[in-house]
Structure 1
């Protein structure tokens, strides 16, 4: 029986509707599948454009659905990507724009990688985005305006990059934004007042940029703000009062700006939740508000280097206070109770750092300091007007590592119980009025690295117990009334490396022979005492010593011949003693820049070489038996009565000299003959470029190198090849540089190097043994230089990053020492030669390492004398050599035709420093699109510096830390000291490699800073 018509119609309609729904579902499925494909292709494009050395993206292939790929999270209701998390995976390269196609993305974590180029505006297409982390990369360019389209953004972190330009006011439309971090970039301009509209903002971090102008008053509208960081910028004016009314604030930082004005008196009542206030290095003034004590949650209070004045209020309610630094202000009321506020800090049971240095505090240190927290690690009261005695309660601060009280008027005895502070590393009580004896218990401080007691009224003997302090790097007991002999235990402290100063006391007796143990000491001062007898010959073992002061004593006898071993000595002062005998000729071969021999009993002829060429650098007055020397010294001529044998000897010398001259003329004529008829010659003629050097021939060099065998080839340079060889004459292993005279400029390079090496002598310059200029067996020109062989090769052969494979890796201290060696060499060439010399080709392959891994600069083939006009020999070389140096190391101004200068060498030195400590070569592939090693280093200074340091060094530092036996906080402090050293090193590299020559650091300043860094490292290593 059939259906009624109405039912048949309904049935047909339902069937059509079902079909339509099924078709619509299929279409939607196809559309969704198409969107899936968009996500997959976007990820594959992302993978194709970046560098993935660790292979973390290896799972990104067709064997798995992209929702299962590493770092990818998809939504539960659909198969679209919602989270991309690839942070800290060592990824690098240029980020492709296709990431903007991942339209369902809510969270992006790409921080701590090596991405570069600009941040693509396509991020602005991600309307669902809530969290975007691109910090700790190398992004450049401006902040994309289209990021303001991401209206759902909660967290935006673009810090630690190289972004530049102004802050886009358009970002103020992100009303849901809770965290905005743009710190450590190169941003400029003002903070837009419209940022006061970011009503949800809790964290606002803009530190370490180049922002200027005033801090907008509108920031006080951010009622949810708890973290405000504006430090290290160029802000001027006052801190808006509205900011001090944001009661949610826990962190307020604005260090190193140009801010002025005072802190509001009710600060402690309006910012009751404040945990840290950091305002150092500004121009703030007024007094510290009394209300500050009401901010009971405060942990860090740091306002040094401002103009605060007046009395310091109580901090008794701050039980959580850890860091308290009010140094370098004008605080102090001029009353005897200036320091009573210290007693209020006894309630801070976790106090770690307490610094009140460089103020105007008067009166005594209260006894209550013995009740300060035992967690205290650093206590500084130096450079004030403090009087009274040092309370014996200081012995209770058992975890104290640094105690600095120099530059006050503290009197009385040094407490004998100071020996209880067995963790003390730095003790400075200098420039006070301490009296009595140095306590024997000071020898219990076995972790001491620096002990400074100079400028007091201490008397009695130097305690021999100081010999227990085996980690001492610096000891200064000068300008006291100490008497008796110098204890042998003191001069036997081989750890001493910075300086040992015992001057201006009443010490007697002889200098102990144990002084030879001071092999690493840089400076020794014994002047102004009553020392007698001869200078011990063991002093020649002090091979690192640069300054030796022994004047104003009663030393006698001749200068020991072992002084000739002190190749690093620059300053020698032995004036006003009773020394006698002839002045040794070897003093002229040392690198002395200042020599004082005055008021002794020296006799005979004054040498004329080295430091004796300058009457300004050398003082010899008061020695009545001296004669000769250069005219500037105004000494009488040396008149010797000749015996018959003397006359015969003199005649013999004249005959020998005449014969030598004739032989020399004959040799030169032979040389001319060879030049004219050399095609008939089958053997070579050789000569040394400096009189008195070892003569070698082509044949001897051919034999020494096994026929210039490739097995003896050490390397190939711009103008020739270097071989390892064994000279028959001396049985010495040498390095032989054979010039390739077919290369344009090679002959002039040979002349330049001979001329340079003839004039220079320095422990950090490769020593030339001889040279050979003649013909090979075919009558062709042959030129070679013979150097000392460096067993450790060149710096270029050593791995200064983990990817290098040859030889042993250089440690942190070795790299610093090599950097100092190179700086010493350049400082000598630039400032201490008779005519300044510019090396023009400083690079790792031209820094050689001896058995002790001492750095020696070599290859003077491009060297220039300044001014060049006075050196005709080199006047025509510039046209043949062209740009002076090697790509990546050559100063940029040379490429535009500028004349060579010492600043050009400094640029190369800066690049060398950055390469040594980052492990990046200036020619690495990563340096493109405006990024170079200088900018990489500069970005590292603004970032966490360890991010740019060679991973090999970071591993070494970690191992050192693991060896420490101190508590965890102590390790953190140790890391901070190492990190500080790394920052200073990178700063030297960056400052030396500025594009503008005028902005570059002088090499002498760089040397001084590096030596200070080495001292810090030695202290750290001694502790570890």
Structure 2
């Protein structure tokens, strides 16, 4: 029988066993830490106290237990340390806190950390760790309360039983890594969670549900690839009903679609940040927003929300950010700004708001950014806006605002002011803002002279006053602006000599065209800036004689004008016979023969505002034509005005007319009529009036000037455009008699209508193929097309052929999926299968794979928009389909650019293969 004193002895030994073991391992822990120090780079000598002859429990960042001096905490954050975490850290069995955040550690996180069964805090954020996060930590560290790995390069997936692995976890911070896969719904089983931050990763699949997280305060899922529908949105917000402590909710920059439910109003009244920006959400903004009286940031921008701005937002007195730009909201902006005394960012731009700007915005005294650009706002700009002393950014461009600006204003913090594309008038005010960097007031009705005070804006980088009614000389004070990189004073009525110092020394930074009374003293200035040559030594005399000369000229002009009108009446009949329509069905209400006067009126005297683009033989303008006796009934058309000073421009006009007068195809640009007349000077004038394409050309869509705001062409859109172009070329080559060769196929000549349907344009270099076999190999001395798209045989003088068009199409097809121009360095080795077959998916536009999405409702239609819903694949088949589609399309492109014409596909074969790819990608 075991005696009582035996039991007491056993209990004593067990109670002191940990003490005995701990004392025997002190040297081991000291050795582990010293070895760790030797492997580190310590630029600030922060670990100088770590010495062999001292007690390791007294070292910087080391905390030990009172009994046995075992290391319980190692805190070395923010010391710029670099190196790797040694696997020997798994001997530190008593460690409860390991914090190495904000350093420069590299390598993988050791799997041995899974042995630290007492660890409650693991903080490794803001380092350079790579590889997969060890599964041993997921499976064996159930004691973890705090886990932060943000801002590393870690990868891998979260286990499906995540919530069961960490029952005590309160903070989960994995943001800004490369984690992927589906976010498991089991996270809800970690019922103590307060902070979930999974932003800036590669998580995909449906947006997860977070039931039973009563302590949740922060939920951040932004910048992933999560998807949703209206029904899933309802479930998601319902799952947060019990999270009554929620303060931050961010699901921005994902692929969420559908409406937001009214159950949004059931979210926590403690909500401070609510962000759903940069998704594809639609419908109206949910009601009940007045519940969130603690809301600081309301961020719904870059979606497809419609309807009006809720009046109840005006009750949110603590609001600091109201961001709803780039949606489809309409109606008048409600007068809700009186209570926004804390608001510093107000961005409602790129919507369809109408009405006036409320003066109550002036009560937002802390306002730093005011963005109302690209709406339909009218009326004057309230003077109260120019009294906001803290305003740094003012965007009011692209509206119909009128009236004048205050004669002077002092906005001490203003850095950017853009009021272009309105109807503002009066003089340019005196602006006294030392930090102003960007000032754009173009395309308004400002008059008077350019104030000298602009030269005192020492920080000015960009100044654009183009397309106004400004008069007088260019102030020499502008020469003082040493940081100026862009000066645009074009299309005004400026006069006198062009200054020669400062920004004017770099002519590539200055645009003065359209000012006929400006002059320069050097041929370089005259040539580059489009001004006349000044007459040296005649300045004073010219100023004295100017009124006399102008009077004489005026009389002469009046007399000549009368003679010209008489001549015009006599020759009118002759010129009317020269005009002919290229369309047998002109637009209803539009005269079949359009005159020079009609075109001049429609283009606002060929205003730069209406200039769409320029080509080798002329310029294209947007024209607004009256289609009835009522001014309100108008039609927007494109007008291609030939530059008859260019060699062969007249020939190009004739060729284009001949090529297009009998062709009819959905994917060819439709020419409405032509004009062959004289202008007001009596010079010949020729123009083509065509269908207007609101989405511009393919080139500007592939390479938008502003990448952030530019709309990315999706994979399906690019495939549809390729099929459209191939259909047009197939028609020209195989269905026209005689066949027509375009000779200048390139992205700039592929126009996109409102539905993103492509139309091939610009037939100025087109050729009709001869049916005489003997002319098959005849040569010509001219290259046909544009550099980078010209078939190699044309360089040897071969005659234009359909295979030459096929080559151009192949280049265009490759360019669409690579997003690199054919003059790029990557093509220097030539275009062939051997060079590109093995690296097709390495050179493609990666955005097509990373943002792969397709419409589920428009697959069976001709629409190219693809905006209504997504198909998502949890097994990775989405990426597979995207890559297969791109690779197949690029192989077609490579088959079209074979060096020998006989080895190329025909357009009919290429079109057939593209249709097969589309059927594959749509699962038909």
Confirm or deny a common fold (TM above 0.5).
yes
Instruction: Tell me what 1:209 maps to.
Output: 201
What secondary structure, in the 3-state scheme, does the structure 2 residue paired with 1:200 have? Answer: coil
Instruction: Tell me what 2:225 maps to.
Output: 234
Are 1:380 and 1:403, in contact at CA under 8 Å, matched by a contact in 2? yes
Partners of 2:518 and 2:100 in 1: how far apart? 70
Query: Any idea what the Cα deviations from partners look like across 1:602-637, whole Å, max 9, x if unmatched?
Result: xxxxxxxxxxxxxxxxx99589xxxxxxxxxxxxxx
Instruction: Tell me what 2:157 maps to.
Output: 166
Establish whether residue 475 from structure 1 lines up as the match of residue 398 from structure 2. no
Offset, 1:304: 1.1
Are 1:494 and 1:518, in contact at CA under 8 Å, matched by a contact in 2? no
Instruction: Tell me what 1:101 maps to.
Output: 91
Residues 890-909 of structure 1: pairs in structure 2 closer than 5 A: 902-903=825-826
Query: Any idea what the Cα deviations from partners look like across 1:359-384, whole Å, max 9, x if unmatched?
Result: 0000111222222x211111010111
Partners of 2:7 and 2:360 in 1: how far apart? 92
Instruction: Tell me what 1:528 maps to.
Output: 514
Partners of 1:401 and 1:268 in 2: how far apart? 34
Query: Any idea what the Cα deviations from partners look like across 1:851-908, whole Å, max 9, x if unmatched?
Result: xxxxxxxxxxxxxxxx9x99xxxxxxxxxxxxxxxxxxxxxxxxxxxxx9824999xx
Offset, 1:21: 10
* 1:422 equivalent among 412, 425, 428: 412
Query: Any idea what the Cα deviations from partners look like across 1:820-855, whole Å, max 9, x if unmatched?
Result: xxxxxxxxxxxxxxxxxxxxxxxxxxxxxxxxxxxx
Offset, 1:388: 1.0
Are 2:237 and 2:267, in contact at CA under 8 Å, matched by a contact in 1? no
Are 2:237 and 2:264, in contact at CA under 8 Å, matched by a contact in 1? no
Query: Any idea what the Cα deviations from partners look like across 1:689-727, whole Å, max 9, x if unmatched?
Result: xxxxxxxxxxxxxxxxxxxxxxxxxxxxxxxxxxxxxxx
Are 1:121 and 1:147, in contact at CA under 8 Å, matched by a contact in 2? yes
Instruction: Tell me what 1:683 maps to.
Output: none
Partners of 2:110 and 2:352 in 1: how far apart? 55
Offset, 1:494: 2.8
Instruction: Tell me what 1:258 maps to.
Output: 255
Establish whether residue 464 from structure 1 lines up as the match of residue 443 from structure 2. no
Query: Any idea what the Cα deviations from partners look like across 1:277-323, whole Å, max 9, x if unmatched?
Result: 12211001111123112201111111111001111113222221111
Are 2:322 and 2:346, in contact at CA under 8 Å, matched by a contact in 1? yes
Are 2:161 and 2:184, in contact at CA under 8 Å, matched by a contact in 1? no
What secondary structure, in the 3-state scheme, does the structure 1 residue paired with 2:119 have? Answer: coil
Instruction: Tell me what 1:368 maps to.
Output: 360
Change (3 A) 1:905 1:198: farther
Establish whether residue 339 from structure 1 lines up as the match of residue 337 from structure 2. no
Establish whether residue 156 from structure 1 lines up as the match of residue 142 from structure 2. no
Instruction: Tell me what 1:967 maps to.
Output: none
Change (3 A) 1:25 1:279: closer
Establish whether residue 190 from structure 1 lines up as the match of residue 211 from structure 2. no
What secondary structure, in the 3-state scheme, does the structure 2 residue paired with 1:316 have? Answer: helix
User: Structure 1: which 5+ runs fail to align?
Assistant: 1-12, 541-546, 559-593, 599-618, 624-866, 871-899, 907-997, 999-1024
Instruction: Tell me what 2:494 maps to.
Output: 507
Offset, 1:161: 1.1
Partners of 2:147 and 2:78 in 1: how far apart? 17
Q: CA RMSD in A?
A: 3.7
What secondary structure, in the 3-state scheme, does the structure 2 residue paired with 1:100 have? Answer: helix
* 2:297 equivalent among 292, 295, 300: 300
Partners of 1:127 and 1:521 in 2: how far apart? 70
Partners of 2:8 and 2:228 in 1: how far apart? 73
What secondary structure, in the 3-state scheme, does the structure 2 residue paired with 1:55 have? Answer: coil
* 2:529 equivalent among 550, 558, 571: 550
Partners of 2:376 and 2:9 in 1: how far apart? 97
Partners of 1:534 and 1:43 in 2: how far apart? 75
Change (3 A) 1:421 1:62: closer
Establish whether residue 400 from structure 1 lines up as the match of residue 391 from structure 2. yes
Offset, 1:467: 2.0
What secondary structure, in the 3-state scheme, does the structure 2 residue paired with 1:320 have? Answer: coil
Partners of 1:402 and 1:429 in 2: how far apart? 11
Partners of 2:22 and 2:499 in 1: how far apart? 90
Instruction: Tell me what 1:494 maps to.
Output: 481
How many matched pairs? 550
Are 2:497 and 2:534, in contact at CA under 8 Å, matched by a contact in 1? no
TM-score using structure 2 length: 0.55
Partners of 2:318 and 2:527 in 1: how far apart? 50
TM-score using structure 1 length: 0.50
Instruction: Tell me what 2:31 maps to.
Output: 41
Establish whether residue 222 from structure 1 lines up as the match of residue 213 from structure 2. yes
Partners of 1:22 and 1:248 in 2: how far apart? 48
What secondary structure, in the 3-state scheme, does the structure 1 residue paired with 2:36 have? Answer: helix
Partners of 2:12 and 2:392 in 1: how far apart? 79
Are 2:120 and 2:143, in contact at CA under 8 Å, matched by a contact in 1? yes
Partners of 2:18 and 2:145 in 1: how far apart? 32
Are 1:269 and 1:295, in contact at CA under 8 Å, matched by a contact in 2? no
Instruction: Tell me what 2:595 maps to.
Output: none
Establish whether residue 64 from structure 1 lines up as the match of residue 54 from structure 2. yes
Partners of 2:68 and 2:492 in 1: how far apart? 86
* 1:317 equivalent among 298, 315, 318: 315
- Greater mean deviation of Cα atoms: 523-532 or 57-66: 57-66
Offset, 1:18: 12
Are 1:527 and 1:549, in contact at CA under 8 Å, matched by a contact in 2? no
Partners of 2:25 and 2:214 in 1: how far apart? 41
Offset, 1:479: 0.5
Instruction: Tell me what 2:775 maps to.
Output: none
Partners of 1:194 and 1:224 in 2: how far apart? 16
User: Structure 2: which 5+ runs fail to align?
Assistant: 537-613, 619-642, 648-789, 794-822, 830-889, 891-924
Offset, 1:508: 1.9
- Greater mean deviation of Cα atoms: 316-325 or 174-183: 316-325
Instruction: Tell me what 2:887 maps to.
Output: none
Partners of 1:272 and 1:19 in 2: how far apart? 60
Partners of 1:459 and 1:61 in 2: how far apart? 77
Partners of 1:176 and 1:28 in 2: how far apart? 26
Partners of 1:382 and 1:22 in 2: how far apart? 79
Instruction: Tell me what 2:324 maps to.
Output: 326
Partners of 1:451 and 1:237 in 2: how far apart? 42
* 1:248 equivalent among 245, 250, 270: 245
Change (3 A) 1:548 1:453: farther
Partners of 1:512 and 1:159 in 2: how far apart? 54
Partners of 1:14 and 1:242 in 2: how far apart? 61
Offset, 1:122: 1.5
Change (3 A) 1:316 1:15: closer
Partners of 2:522 and 2:383 in 1: how far apart? 41
* 2:104 equivalent among 95, 114, 127: 114
Are 2:152 and 2:177, in contact at CA under 8 Å, matched by a contact in 1? yes
